[in-house]
């Protein structure tokens, strides 16, 4: 009932206040504190990362928030370089770095648009043992933003590993992913990009792509594998 009331409030704000995109920010919300709304007025650049009225947030929304179950809308190519979309990208990167994540999707900061970002820094790579890095074929991934991404499967063999998610804070489970994929998308400037990814990199991309379809790791996990 609480989630339904919360969802109705969000839709009301969307219909009454905002015809377009979400551009409100905030610096220090708790992981357990509920977002105030899905849509709000466009924030001026002087208020970037300082507003506390609504999304895009600077934290990861958590399981139970309706935005994580939405099928995200594509971003019109001609609008990628607008201040609205660029502000959303800025919030995503800020949040990704703030929580030292390896991937983020726009709905995870409260914005149901088809945008993801990935990274696997040298520092993150070094937190894993040599054995694990070799077994999972981990590699350093430069930070990349993908808008309106789509993937095709190049190797449909399944690899099952344990995954976590910043929107299921403190939890992980075993999830099967395709071994190799090809991703096509637009970058942060609107240019077309392609990427072939395998193993751990492929897993990160598929994880973030699931978010754009309202899917969480708990929906795809191996039975009884969820743990703290």
Q: Which residues are part of the catalytic machinery?
A: 208
Gap between the Cα atoms of 228 and 168, Å rounded: 10
Gap between the Cα atoms of 181 and 194, Å rounded: 11
User: 21-56: buried (b, 16+ CB within 10 Å) or exposed (e) per residue?
Assistant: bbbbbbeebeeeeebbbbbbeebeeeebeebeebbb
Gap between the Cα atoms of 68 and 159, Å rounded: 25
Q: How far is CA 143 from CA 74, 165, 168, 218, in A?
A: 21, 18, 22, 26
Evaluate whether 198 touches 180 at the Cβ level (below 8 Å): yes
In the chain, count H helices and then E strands: 6, 5
Number of other CB atoms surrounding residue 92 within 10 Å: 24
């Amino acid at each position: 009932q609480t989630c339904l009331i919360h969802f109705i409030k969000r839709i009301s704000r969307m219909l009454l206040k905002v015809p377009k995109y979400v551009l409100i920010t905030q610096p220090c919300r708790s992981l357990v504190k509920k977002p105030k709304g899905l849509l709000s007025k466009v924030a001026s650049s002087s208020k970037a990362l300082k507003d506390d009225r609504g999304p895009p947030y600077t934290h990861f929304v958590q399981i139970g928030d309706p935005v994580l179950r939405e099928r995200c809308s594509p971003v019109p190519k001609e609008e990628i370089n607008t201040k609205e979309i660029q502000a959303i990208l800025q919030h995503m990167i800020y949040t990704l770095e703030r929580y030292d994540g390896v991937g983020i999707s726009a709905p995870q900061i409260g914005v149901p648009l088809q945008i993801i970002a990935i990274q696997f820094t040298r520092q993150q790579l070094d937190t894993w043992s040599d054995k694990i890095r070799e077994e999972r074929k981990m590699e350093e991934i430069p930070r990349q933003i993908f808008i309106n991404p789509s993937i095709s499967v190049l190797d449909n063999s399944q690899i099952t590993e344990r995954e976590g998610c910043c929107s299921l804070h403190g939890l992980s489970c075993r999830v099967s992913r395709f071994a190799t994929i090809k991703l096509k998308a637009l970058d942060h400037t609107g240019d077309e990009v392609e990427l072939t990814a395998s193993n751990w990199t492929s897993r990160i991309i598929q994880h973030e792509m699931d978010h754009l379809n309202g899917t969480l790791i708990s929906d795809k996990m191996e039975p009884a594998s969820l743990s703290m």
